[in-house]
Structure 1
Amino acid sequence: MGSNYKPIPKDSSVELQSKDQNNHGSQNPKSSHIVDDLDYDDLNDEIDFDHLPLVIVPKEDSASSSGSGIYGAVFNLSTSVIGAGIMALPATMKVLGLIVGLILIFLMGILSEISVELLVRFAVQSKSNSYGEVVQEALGKPARILSEICIIVNNAGVLVVYLIIIGDVMSGSLRHTGVFDQWLGNGFWDHRKIVILVVVIICLAPLCALNKIDSLSTTSAASVALAVVFVLVAFIVAFIKLLEGKIGTPRLTPDFGSEKAILDLLVVIPIMSNAYVCHFNVQPIYNELENRSPQKMNKVGRLTTALCVTIYASTAIAGYLLFGKDTESDILTNFDRPLGVRFSTALTYIVRVGYVFHLVLVFPVIHFSLRQTVDALVFDGSAPLSESRKRCLGLTFVLLAVVYLGSTMIPSIWTAFKFTGATTAVSLGFTFPALIALRLSSQGPGLSSRERFLAWLMLSLAVMVSVVGVVGNVYSLQSKSE
């Protein structure tokens, strides 16, 4: 049978491609590069459509030439993990004791890394480009809407916590002196609401108004560096005081001797699970990974887990050893007093002001995911947010206003972490990934017996933590009101 088509030479750079290859994150993922790279001069302005190849490969494949490397991906994912949750970890040591607390830090880190691997594997298998898409593929559209609501509540809660910490550190609280008081004395800066409002308008609004997360890469790098400075200072001071014999004997196990201690135990485990939630940023980071593959992303997840577990464990131990039974739910507020070492005053300023700047620089990254999720939920089917500057700015300022109001009504980060940790954080970090793996395993290579056991274990633990955390929180509020 005759045909006008000729075979493509073996030495040609032309080859067929899968329709989804290298199109993650594009507005039209099914489109292909067809005639964009043709050299019209060589063709003398004449194209023989009978001999035109189906697909022409660009001279430089964007997936391999412009993606991020493994360590860049580790940095981005670590930025999503290391935030305000680190400030509550020393207080969890006061409740759980060092031994049980450290075990939980390592256990939650390992389970979180496993859940990330499962999420990546089945997102790739289902060709999903976001957390919501893989949830919809596995559990349907109602579940996707629920997952997006969880992301909104979780991210908004985290941003509220950031503002609470900034306000407490800079303007002070009932029991602690703020940085401005120490520098300038009494004034309008004593009012936390005013300080937070000024920070939102002057520092946060310009950064949050950016419509591309790539624009925040430099600020993210600076934020991680500031977090490491805090950890190093706290660890070094604790080590010096330990050598000098100025640190008392710490609690090693939980205290079951009072009703209050039991209530604290019920709510502290969800706070631990909140510290590792980064799953809503996993897929965007994977999409930008150079020569991406599930194996590379698994390596990113493991390196990130190792880094975050090390930082979390060091902070929890150092903070609790420094302040013991006086450890506050926000450890930064403990640094308004002398530390008992040389250059104590300078170190307290470095720790507090440095971490405030860290939160200011991390805030826009979390806000970006919050804004994208709200847009996907409210304006489903509309043009991409990057193409509508008015909608982008409108959502930005509305969300900043809501987060600001939340920070003025919630008294402490402990209160915020108790509820988000027991509900949305557990769902995003463990419940949804486990359900996705169990549901989609029948559509591909499937799960090994060990992986299936881990998925069921995560799901069971997530349900228990959620139920116990919610019951403990409600009972705790009732006890305080009586």
Structure 2
Amino acid sequence: SAGKKKYETEYVRGNASFGMSVFNLGNAIMGSGILGLSFAMANTGIALFILLLVSVAIFSLYSVHLLLKTANEGGARVYEELGQKAFGMPGKLAASCAITMQNIGAMSSYLYIIKYELPIVIEAFTGAKDEWYTNGDYLVLLVSLCIILPLSLLRNLGYLGYTSGLSLLCMVFFLIVIIKKFQIPCPLPFLDAVNETALMANSTPSTINSTEDVCTPKYVVINSQTVYALPILIFAFVCHPTILPMYEELKDRSRKKMQNVANVSFTAMFIMYLLAALFGYLTFNINVEAELLHTYSKIYKDDVLLLIVRLAVLAAVTLTVPVVLFPIRTSIIHLLGSHKDFSWVRHFIITLVLLGGTNALVIFVPTIKDMFGFFGASAASMLVFILPSAFYIKLVKKESMKSVQKIGALLFLVSGILVMFGSMTLIIYDWVANRGHV
């Protein structure tokens, strides 16, 4: 097909340098997840958060190790193909659904950022408040229709592929600003009496008893929101479906070289994540919201630097939505088994349904942490823990089930299943229990 040929002429096999691969993988890892990390830290405390972050980073790298080893044995270079080779159609479906769900989660979180941040930017420029054009729900629909839909309808990504580089740079810029804006008075001036009573009502009396309590960072915290921390972290580290295509494009490729690419990328992201979470948390303490950038709007209404960050992040996420939508659409077309001939009608309908569906999610789901939590606990756990270990156990024939490697993979599989079901149960419980307060 034309799409396939184009792909082969555009990318000569194996011409990505080590540095370029590290950068590309960094882009794949870095998404909107970074905005939820301070919230996770506020609900686990500094010590527990660092422990969780280190664990998730190491687990994600172990998962990359399993994938690379399995790909070498199984000879497949696409995540879904590994599923097919390991468990036939069910395996392919499981992989496909997990990737699709993860991507829908990513798309929703990007649209969420538009819903949260664009109104603030427009208010800053027009000075208007409570107009229809400062309503996040209208704005997200408008941006989806006017910018995202036309870009998503392109047949090939072309230059859009480069915008992911933009998003990584934006987040680096965002991190620098978080560190720069560190000196915010505590207790926050905007927390007037009204807000404090609201806070009091929402939490047990013991948690907020004095100003000093609001302003001292905690090392270990356990509360009803702690269940979101692990899924948010897993969501922030998922990049596993892109590992195999990147391995394919690596110059002078070897498993060891690709593993090193992953090690460098993950270490860099780990440092960025830790700094962002720490400075965001230390700036706002207990008042940090599920979406960090939005928390700043309460203090800096018209700060130029933060306005630039908002614009940069908005540009990045708007341009990344089509990039994420492409693989979902391709995957759906493949599953329908109708990828032989290109049809504009099918192309258009699938795109419209996907964008419409994610817009509906974003308009009706109350906060971004529900997105991070739900998709992190389900799809991300599948992609990081469950599928790579299951593929490894099934496809790497030369090791017996009693070998250290297989036992390791089995433990990994079991812990993945526990994380997935445990987190989902607790999150759903939290939804049911706390819907009254929202």
State if a TM-score over 0.5 links the two structures. Answer: yes
* Correspondence for 1:249: 216
Does 1:230 pair with 2:170? no
Letter in 2 for 1:313: L
Of 335, 353, 370, which aligns to 2:328? 370
8 A contact 2:99–2:383 mirrored in 1: yes
* Correspondence for 1:304: 265
C-alpha distance in structure 2 between counterparts of 1:213 and 1:284, whole Å: 16
C-alpha distance in structure 2 between counterparts of 1:475 and 1:417, whole Å: 16
* Correspondence for 1:407: 362
8 A contact 1:83–1:362 mirrored in 2: no
Query: Measured at CA, do residues 218 and 307 of structure 1 come closer, stay the same or move farther in structure 2, by a change above 3 Å?
Result: same
* Correspondence for 1:182: 124
Q: CA deviation at 1:215?
A: 2.8
Q: CA deviation at 1:437?
A: 1.3
Letter in 2 for 1:116: V
* SS of residue in 1 equivalent to 2:333: helix
Of 246, 249, 269, which aligns to 1:285? 246
Letter in 2 for 1:382: H
* Correspondence for 1:96: 44
* Correspondence for 1:108: 56
* SS of residue in 1 equivalent to 2:396: helix
Query: Equivalent residues in 2 for 1:143-292 (5 A)?
Result: 143-171=91-119, 178-184=120-126, 185-186=128-129, 187-238=131-182, 248-255=215-222, 261=223, 263-292=224-253
8 A contact 1:98–1:252 mirrored in 2: yes
Q: CA deviation at 1:288?
A: 2.2
Does 1:118 pair with 2:66? yes
Does 1:465 pair with 2:426? no
8 A contact 2:27–2:164 mirrored in 1: yes
* Correspondence for 1:15: none
Query: Measured at CA, do residues 453 and 305 of structure 1 come closer, stay the same or move farther in structure 2, by a change above 3 Å?
Result: farther
Q: CA deviation at 1:233?
A: 0.9
8 A contact 1:79–1:362 mirrored in 2: no
Q: CA deviation at 1:214?
A: 4.7
Tell me the C-alpha RMSD between the 2 structures. Answer: 2.7
* Correspondence for 2:284: 323
C-alpha distance in structure 2 between counterparts of 1:446 and 1:223, whole Å: 43
8 A contact 1:281–1:369 mirrored in 2: no
Aligned residues: 401
* SS of residue in 2 equivalent to 1:140: helix
Query: Measured at CA, do residues 310 and 239 of structure 1 come closer, stay the same or move farther in structure 2, by a change above 3 Å?
Result: farther
C-alpha distance in structure 1 between counterparts of 2:168 and 2:227, whole Å: 31
Which structure 1 residue ranges, 5 or more long, are not aligned? 1-24, 28-60, 172-177, 256-260
* SS of residue in 2 equivalent to 1:211: coil
C-alpha distance in structure 1 between counterparts of 2:98 and 2:65, whole Å: 20
* SS of residue in 2 equivalent to 1:296: helix
Letter in 1 for 2:308: I
- Which structure is richer in relative contact order (CA contacts within 8 A, separation 6 or more)? 2
Does 1:349 pair with 2:291? no
Deviations 1:53-111 (A, max 9, x none): xxxxxxxx9535xx222222222222221111111100000010011101211210111
TM normalised by structure 2 equals 0.84
* Correspondence for 1:382: 339
Letter in 2 for 1:415: D
* Correspondence for 1:63: 13
C-alpha distance in structure 2 between counterparts of 1:107 and 1:156, whole Å: 25
Which structure 2 residue ranges, 5 or more long, are not aligned? 6-10, 187-211
Higher-Rg structure is 1
Query: Measured at CA, do residues 439 and 239 of structure 1 come closer, stay the same or move farther in structure 2, by a change above 3 Å?
Result: farther
Q: CA deviation at 1:449?
A: 4.7
Letter in 2 for 1:362: T
C-alpha distance in structure 2 between counterparts of 1:145 and 1:448, whole Å: 29
Of 381, 396, 414, which aligns to 1:441? 396
Letter in 2 for 1:251: K
Q: CA deviation at 1:239?
A: 7.0
Query: Measured at CA, do residues 63 and 165 of structure 1 come closer, stay the same or move farther in structure 2, by a change above 3 Å?
Result: closer
Q: CA deviation at 1:269?
A: 1.4
* SS of residue in 2 equivalent to 1:427: helix
8 A contact 1:159–1:363 mirrored in 2: yes
Query: Equivalent residues in 2 for 1:413-452 (5 A)?
Result: 413-442=368-397, 444=398, 449-452=403-406
8 A contact 1:441–1:447 mirrored in 2: no
Deviations 1:410-441 (A, max 9, x none): 11111111211111110111110011111222
Letter in 2 for 1:220: S
C-alpha distance in structure 2 between counterparts of 1:293 and 1:390, whole Å: 42
8 A contact 1:80–1:366 mirrored in 2: no
Does 1:454 pair with 2:415? no
